[in-house]
Amino acid sequence: MSPLKLAIIGGGPSSFYVASRLLSLFPKDEPLFSQLRIHIYDKLWAPHGLVRYGVAPDHPEVKNCTHKFDQAAGDPRIRFFGNVQVGPQTPPAISHALPISLSSLKPHYTHLLLSTGCTIPTLHPLLLPSDRVIPALSLVHWYTQHPSRPSPPPLHKTEHVSIIGQGNVALDVARMLLTPPDILEKYDVPAPVLDVLYRSAVRRVSIIGRRGPLQAAFTTKELRELTTLPGASMIPLAHDVITPASGTKLTRQQSRILQILQQASPTATPTHVPNPPMSTKKSWSLDFFRSPTGFTADGQHLTLAHTALDENSRAVPTGVSSLLRTDLVVTALGHHTDPLLAYYDPTLGHLRTDRGRVLDTTSHALRRVYASGWAATGARGVLAATMIDAYAVADAILGDHFGFGPGGGDKAVPVQGEAYSDDALVSEDVDLESVPRTVEQGIKEKRVVQYDQWKKIDAEEIRRGVERGKERERMGWEEVHEFLR
């Protein structure tokens, strides 16, 4: 049986879940054990993608999945190459990443997996980035010290922040802006970020959405955390906003969300209100049925169109509008895959795929080229969903290559039967241990970070954190490069 040597572009959770699945299906007592190699390339010098650079610092339990990734990386058949930009430099740009072409991988691999995630924020057409409008992703990258090094927000002169969007990222950003910095100190929040938060003048956060509480994308957990935040109270909602129409069938999550909102609003008894309205210096609001249409001429106010739901639960304007004075706008409207990537479908916002296989413009599957995670599905779902998707992609890879799936199942077939695209991104016969020459040179120069080196960096960050009484103190690339040298 011919060997399977897989190159994975992207080092986030989906990549490691695919790798872990493949490795587990070929243990040491399996005859095909030695026929498998997996190489993971990431433009970030540290592995784990959104787990390191997207999870809110005060949610450390979400990062427990890295133990599984460490276990996979300990297998001798897998290698990680961090700080390597495969293909064109794409946003957010990493200036120190080692550039190599996608074609340079072809002679070395029999299979290719694209797992680059969704790295581009979806922008509001009437609120484009400026000194007063910041994509939420930039703010998240700032407080997680992403290697793209976005500028810190001007919080020292910002009293009112308006967040456009009502998903979990919007609530994460609101919580980071409203949580007392002395509480955040124990978490994985870099010292320069804490310095900015201590000087913050933010007193009010408005979280704006064009639909109602039953359509909001945040989870019950995120909402409850915000309502119980020390030192910040929720602005009460009108009774009709949080009272469903007679006969409305609610899901379990919708019922819980309404219950939390009702407890924090005027109909609640004081004993049920975590932070009574106007009892704190900081406050926040959920502004439902509002859609921003731009700034006023003086640039001091957002114009908000009032909306209602049509019969299909779509937000439509009512003809009424209002003004909201604000100092800073954060747009949290989701993310999409980089449109510069080959096989990107602009109508989907991610790569064209079918059951894990990447498709060309004629819907033919590329031979032995796959995609997983948000690059394949779009920016949706939690880690558990990412893991399930990754396992399915790993099974498709095995089915196509070895002719059987886990347990000896039938071979998986491409979307167009045996008709494949003419695009060839991988090879038939490769050296199992080889890597591109540019990568070899980068390893010698300590410019490419391998997993055993990452574990030493990880230990050093934790050691520095212990000295400060916190989870860890993160290192920047300059420190990392010198540390490795």
pLDDT per residue as tens digits for the range 101-155 = 999 999 999 999 999 999 999 999 999 999 999 999 999 999 999 999 999 999 9
Residue 273 has pLDDT above 60, yes or no: no
Checking if the pLDDT of 399 tops 70, the result is: yes
Per-residue pLDDT, 274: 58
Residue type, 437: R
Report the predicted TM-score, pTM, of the whole model to 2 decimal places. 0.93
Q: 333, 368, 402: which is the final residue of a domain?
A: 333
Taking only the tens place, the pLDDT of each residue in 427-472 is 999 999 999 999 999 999 999 999 999 999 999 999 999 999 999 9
pLDDT of residue 31: 80
Peptide bond into 406 cis (omega under 30): no
Query: What is the per-residue burial (b if ≥16 Cβ within 10 Å, else e) of 158-172?
Result: bebbbbbbbbbbbbb
Within this chain, do residues 149 and 258 fall inside the same structural domain, yes or no? Answer: yes
pLDDT tens track for 218-229: 999 999 999 999
Residue ranges of the alpha helices (H) in 59-180? 66-73, 136-143, 168-178
* Residue 211 assigned to a binding site: yes
In tens, the pLDDT along 46-83 reads: 999 999 999 999 999 999 999 999 999 999 999 999 99
Q: Judge whether 477 is annotated as a binding position.
A: no
CATH number reported for the structural domain that contains residue 368 in this entry: 3.40.50.720
Given a cut of 70, is residue 365 above it in pLDDT? Answer: yes
Report pLDDT for 59: 95
Interval 311-338 mean pLDDT: 96
Q: At 395, list the tokens.
A: 């099974």
Same domain? 318 vs 344: no
196 is in an annotated binding site: no
At 427, give phi and psi (nearest 5°). -120, 165
Are 329 and 340 in the same domain?
no
Q: According to the annotation, is 222 in a ligand binding site? A: yes
169 is in an annotated binding site: yes
More confident site: 276 or 186: 186
Residue 82 in marked binding region: no
Would the pLDDT of 166 be above 90?
Answer: yes
Q: Which residue has the higher pLDDT, 28 or 24?
A: 24
Per-residue pLDDT band at 93 (split at 50, 70, 90): confident
Question: What is the model's pLDDT at position 268?
Answer: 46
Q: Are residues 141 and 63 in the same domain?
A: no
Q: Can you give the residue range of the structural domain that contains 239?
A: 123-333
The predicted model gives 173-202 an average pLDDT of 98
Confidence band of 406 (pLDDT split at 50, 70, 90): very low
Residue 351 CA neighbour count, 13 Å, CB half: 28
The mean pLDDT value for 178-196 works out to 97
Same domain, 287 and 385: no
**Same-domain check for residues 266 and 316:** yes
**How many structural domains are present in the chain?**
2
Residues 215 and 258 in one domain: yes
Domain finish residue from 317, 333, 349: 333
158 and 307 housed in the same domain: yes
Give the CATH number, domain containing residue 217: 3.50.50.60
**pLDDT reported for residue 407:** 43
Contact between 43 and 406 (Cβ < 8 Å):
no
Q: Which of 300, 333, 366 is the last residue of a domain?
A: 333
How does pLDDT run across 341-362, given as a tens digit for each residue? 889 999 999 999 998 999 998 8
- Dihedral sign computed on CA atoms, order 46, 49, 50, 54: positive
Q: How would residue 199 be classed by pLDDT, with cut points 50, 70 and 90?
A: very high
Helices (runs of H) and strands (runs of E) counted in the chain:
14, 22
Per the annotation, does 454 bind a ligand? Answer: no
Instruction: Say whether 355 counts as a known binding-site residue.
Output: no
Residues 161 and 178 in one domain: yes
217 in the same domain as 105: no
- At residue 26, the pLDDT reads 85
Same domain, 158 and 303: yes
Q: Per 3-state DSSP, what percentage of the chain is helix, strand, and coil (rounded to 5)? A: 30, 20, 45
DSSP secondary structure code for residue 432 in this structure = T
Q: How far apart are the first and last CA of the chain?
A: 41
Q: In this structure, are 31 and 180 located in the same domain?
A: no
C-alpha pair distances (Å), 141 with each of 2, 51, 60: 42, 12, 16
Model confidence at 417: pLDDT above 70:
no
Interval 236-262 mean pLDDT: 93
Q: Give the pLDDT score at 269.
A: 46
